[in-house]
Structure 1
Amino acid sequence: MTLWLIQPNQKRLRLIDPSFHPRFYVQGAEPRLRQLGLELAARARVHCAMAEKFSIWDGQPVRVLEVTVHHPVQFASIARFVRRYDTRFTLYNSDLMLAPLYCWEKNVFPLALVDVETARQDGPVIRAIECRDDEWALDYELPPLRTLQLRLEGLSLVDPQHGRRGALLAEIDGEEQVLEDSDQPVAVGVERLLRAHDPDLIVTEWGDSTLLPSLMRQAQRLGFELSLNRDRTPVGRSRSRSYMSYGRILYKGSSTTLSGRLHVDLRNSFIAHQCELDGLWELARITKLPVQYSARTSTGTGISYMQMETAYRDGTLIPAQKAEPESPKHPGELLLADRGGLVFPPRLGFFENVAELDF
């Protein structure tokens, strides 16, 4: 697992934690599970052992095969192999994101203050990590992030993909610069700012779908690679998609995520747009989801991961592909059971200075 840290002397560090070995669980007939364990051990660096966990459906203990994966990058592919190996198997904890899994195991969270003991192997590695912070604290110190802001000149509400074009405005350390191709290629100017200031956070408007992809294409035409990442890994790109939710068809834009830096697109982030960056920091801390993922997902996903952390700590199995339908209920049972998260019968009357709490 790769971690990026900021030291008190402002030095940025890329560290590897080789002690993180994620686990998932398989339920099925024990002879088949033991055969699966032998098959997996012959294919990859895994450790398989029978274990007892609790069922989420009835709270009773169940016997499952615990599969510990030595290399986290193989976690998803090994889970897919098990799913194909025998369709009668039931998998648990197999489709969870690795970053929150790491946080649950090490008792840390994004943007936390930590003590780290390191050693040298092929590169700097983590020998021990201990959190010196509380995700539920109301008053906390944030890392000293150097911020680069990028946006196009003109109306920010208009998507540049719909024809709006203008000079690129770049702001860092309170100083704003105008970058235009008439002076030098804009990608060259952005590369100069990245190398000179080495920002930790890049805040854009329409950066996911337009700005950063356009800059990367221009840099490629000019024969160099834009230093958006701090390491040699490729820039993360996901395609846009449409999906159905509560009877509505919703659109989720494409995303551009970075390694060693944070990229937040204010036009593709509900939480950052509605609650600004302070709201995003708070969400990432308490949900333990990566900051860039938190910026682009719903608060419901964050709440689900908080519930799954509770299940993880209780030893309760978390079903893969969680789509279990609700069991049929009598109308009276449904009325009592489906009343929302919490219902307060209001006091009748006319009142002043009333606060409204919306989830």
Structure 2
Amino acid sequence: MWYGKPRRLRRGGCHGELSVAGNTVTGSSTDLLTTVQGALDTHDPDVLVCSTSEIVPTLHEMATAAGVDDFSLSRWPDVDYQQLASRSTYSSYGRVGHSPARYNVPGRAIIDESNTFFYGETNLDGVLDLVSRSKKPVQELAWASIGNVLTAIQICEANDRGVLVPWNSWRHEFYKPMETLHDADRGGFIFAPEVGLHENVHELDFSSLYPNIICTRNVSPDVIRCDCHSDHDDVPGLGYSICDDRGYLVDVLQPIIDARDDIKAAIRREQDRDDPDEDRLAELEGRSGALKW
């Protein structure tokens, strides 16, 4: 893994500062490019972790301006880098966000710290754990959302079952009258405590609450309101039936729940050792954090 962080680095600038592979170098464009190329030749990394992916075109433009013809981040001699998507803005839940441009360096994966959720919330071990479960490439998973990764894991389960997956989602919810929506969409209730000093206060925390509800109650779209149990009233207040057959979503989530429980147990065992392995703990905590999300 190689880390590059630009500091006061500008396109076409004569001098700048760059942090690469744990070292900070200040100097001319040629000095910076020589340091970067030397780190690549020494470490030959599979993953490039950058504070921003904009460093990729910036370095190549610097090489062109400085007349450095043999500079390349790529492992392919004929392709230096590719732009996969332009920067854009988007709207989600009433908020406008910014999506930076995305780049590809042939032969290596890029993790852009300014455009990643899972790497920011966990670490590389957490990202690689989800790669093994979702079959998504490292670079794609790094910028993916939680829902995107979970959908990929669901598709893997469907493929294992020999079930065809439509190219685009087309199945929508059944029509519901307003009174059914009112009864079904019941959120949690928060009790407001009395203002003041309280003693003997206890906290109860459910481990993986919603996934465990799904798995223990067999909540899955393929078994809810099934025709074979239409006379059952399994969901209080709604009259929905739930089939006795094991739901597809349960087979997706139960392995994740079990894996996180095993990892958390391994963390406790490592912490209880007289001389815990900090690298091992970081790996386990990264994997546990990724599965939590």
What does the per-residue CA deviation read over 1:214-262, in whole Å, with 9 as the maximum and x for residues that have no partner? 0011223325253322124452322112233334333211112223222
User: Could you tell me how far apart the structure 2 residues matched to 1:280 and 1:178 are?
Assistant: 29
Match of 1:274 in 2: 121
Q: TM-score by structure 1 length?
A: 0.47
DSSP-derived class of the 1:189 partner: helix
Task: Report if aligned partners of 1:170, 1:179 keep a CA contact under 8 Å in 2.
Answer: no
User: Could you tell me how far apart the structure 2 residues matched to 1:205 and 1:179 are?
Assistant: 17
DSSP-derived class of the 1:273 partner: helix
User: Which structure carries more strand by proportion?
Assistant: 1
Match of 2:64 in 1: 220
TM-superposed deviation, 1:300: 0.9
Match of 1:192 in 2: 38
Match of 1:230 in 2: 75
- 1:150 equivalent to 2:4? Answer yes
Task: Report if aligned partners of 1:148, 1:170 keep a CA contact under 8 Å in 2.
Answer: yes
% same residue: 26
Moved over 4 A (4+): 335-340, 356-359
Change in Cα spacing, 1:286 to 1:337, as seen in structure 2 (3 Å) is farther
Task: Report if aligned partners of 1:167, 1:178 keep a CA contact under 8 Å in 2.
Answer: yes
Q: What is the 5 A alignment of 1:1-359?
A: 147-153=1-7, 166-171=16-21, 176-181=23-28, 184-206=30-52, 208-209=53-54, 211-221=55-65, 222-232=67-77, 233-237=79-83, 238-322=85-169, 324-334=171-181, 351-355=201-205, 359=293
Change in Cα spacing, 1:271 to 1:317, as seen in structure 2 (3 Å) is same
Task: Report if aligned partners of 1:179, 1:189 keep a CA contact under 8 Å in 2.
Answer: no
Q: TM-score by structure 2 length?
A: 0.56
Task: Report if aligned partners of 2:5, 2:19 keep a CA contact under 8 Å in 1.
Answer: yes
Unaligned regions of 5+ residues in structure 2, if any? 194-199, 209-291
User: Could you tell me how far apart the structure 2 residues matched to 1:346 and 1:307 are?
Assistant: 33
Change in Cα spacing, 1:325 to 1:246, as seen in structure 2 (3 Å) is farther
DSSP-derived class of the 1:352 partner: coil
User: Could you tell me how far apart the structure 1 residues matched to 2:114 and 2:166 are?
Assistant: 33
DSSP-derived class of the 1:203 partner: strand
TM-superposed deviation, 1:280: 1.8
